[in-house]
A and B are shown apart, each in its own frame.
Chain A
Amino acid sequence: MSARSKIITFQGHENFRNRLVFATLSGKTIKIEKIRSDDLNPGLRDYEISLLRLIENVTNGSVIEISYTGTTVIYRPGLIIGGDFVHQCPDGIACGYFIEPMLCLAPFSKKKFSILFKGLTASKEHAGVDFIKWGLLPVMEKFGVREVELHTLKRGSPPQGGGEVHLIVNSLIPQPVTIHVLDYQKISSIRGVAYCTRVSPSVANRLVDSARSVLKATNCEVNITTDACRGEIAGKSPGFGLTLFTESKKIPFRYVVEDIGTGGETPEDVGECVALSLLEQIDTSGCLGRNQLELAFLYMVIGKEDIGRLLINKAQFDEQLVLFLRDIRTVFGTKFYFKQSDEFQNSMYATVKGTGFINTSKKIA
């Protein structure tokens, strides 16, 4: 087989981050073509270039070739080495856009990851730091990646940002463990963080009151803390936001929702909307929320050669998830099998056999 035929080709800009992560973990060369080729402004966006630079930094020996128009990228992955970096996120894109791929790569690195991200800490489009902290890190913990810390040093609201987030991954593992979560979590309490930057501290209290008024009907214990940032730790722009998550005693997973206020929105609107979204997410989720599912699926795929199972909800299937599953099949050659649950309504068991990925920098005993 020639070297050219080994290149996996994708088309379009969808799932860009995941494709880079898959290629890095599998060590396979990928070519992504027709990136916004029909767009008035074709090619890669600045935040995608920034992500490529970050991946280039945390790996050794990666080769990235970008065509003149930016509509084609060839990525030959190197070894994940990690290290200490500072990454300046481009304007308008939250740090979460860059942190999420790092969470997939960092545990399989040679050295520990310590990356300081500068920019927005929350946005409407991408994951905020609170969501990652309360939603994604517990998922990683379940797969055996325990020593991961995410410190919010400064909060940065849109449009100017000015936030700083420090990601530290001390847990370097040979491969993730297999999980079997076949039951729903029973929610014992609802917790949250309401924050505001460069506005009156009462805004955070208004967010809390509004969310509480909706969640009161659940008869559940609700604890929402406020974080009114002032001075240097408040970033450059005024803003506010709310993150709500559930707590469960039996299963360490949490359903997490978040939102931020934009121009014209009152704290009452945002608080109520986030609380309603949390109820909706609980109703339409399996054991994990839709926003946590991709990370869990990826860890299941690269786990040891054993069958992993996860309870999901039928409502969680969307275009993005189908693309994600197809790309996993293309790169790792493994397929998920979905089986209707007899026990729970609208639920399915997602089953997959791990590919037996091994961190090349670690020895397996």
Chain B
Amino acid sequence: LNSNEAKKTWDINKLLYMDNIDPNDAISRWKKEEEGPVYSSPNEDGDADEKENYREDQDSEENDNFFVKKDISGNFKQSHEVLYGNDTSANKLRDKWLVDNSALGRLKSRFFVSPKQRL
């Protein structure tokens, strides 16, 4: 790794204990790094600019998601809200565990004792 690439690596053990970084910001920087080297690390001089860019990136991502959801699953969401109300956190859980079976299958194989093992 050259010096620039080394700078990009965010270590959770350093980020957690950096008092000058907001806890939420520390976690989001770390997770961003985990997902892929999209966001370059802020240097000491350009910290504020980097933060702004980062926020812009986040905003644009949220906007993108918003439009994607509206276009693709608009009808489904509407019927869902009629059934279950507007509680988005509960709706997300229902989508994950009741609509999509892949998450439940993964969970069962990883965490639950199979009926054979139980016997």
Contact = CB atoms under 8 A, between A and B. Distances in A.
A217 interface: yes
A337 B13 contact: yes
Q: Which of B26, B90, B113 has the most CB of A within 10 A?
A: B113
Interface stretch (A75-83, A125-133, A296-304, A319-327): A319-327
A331 interface: no
Contact of B111 (A184, A249, A272): A184
Contacts of B26: 322
Contact of A184 (B27, B31, B110): B110
Interface residues of B, number: 30
Interface string B20-35: 0001101100110010
Interface in A159-202: 184-188
Contacts of B24: 319
A220 interface: yes
B93 A277 contact: yes
Interface in A280-320: 280, 282-283, 314, 317-320
A322 B16 contact: yes
B11 to A, nearest CB: 9
Contact of A221 (B19, B23, B118): B118
A329 interface: yes
B108 interface: yes
B76 interface: no
Contacts of B30: 317
A272 B117 CA distance: 27
Given A276-B94, A279-B97, A319 B23 contact: yes
A283 B107 contact: yes
B27 A187 contact: no
A273 B27 contact: no
Contact of A326 (B17, B97, B113): B17
A221 B114 CA distance: 10
Contact of A188 (B16, B17, B113): B113
Given A318-B27, A325-B17, A276 B93 contact: yes
B68 interface: no
Contacts of A319: 23-24, 27
Contacts of A329: 17
A325 B16 contact: yes
Contacts of A336: 13, 16
A188 B97 contact: no
Interface in A258-283: 269, 272-273, 276-277, 279-280, 282-283
Contact of A323 (B23, B94, B104): B23
Given A276-B90, A322-B23, A338-B12, A219 B108 contact: yes
A186 B111 contact: yes
A282 B111 contact: yes
Interface in B67-110: 90, 93-94, 96-98, 103-104, 107-108, 110
A142 interface: no
B112 interface: yes
Nearest to B115: A219
3 closest Cβ pairs, A-B complex: A322-B23, A276-B93, A319-B23
14 contacts: A187-B111, A214-B97, A269-B90, A279-B107, A280-B93, A280-B96, A283-B103, A317-B30, A319-B23, A322-B23, A322-B27, A323-B23, A325-B17, A329-B17
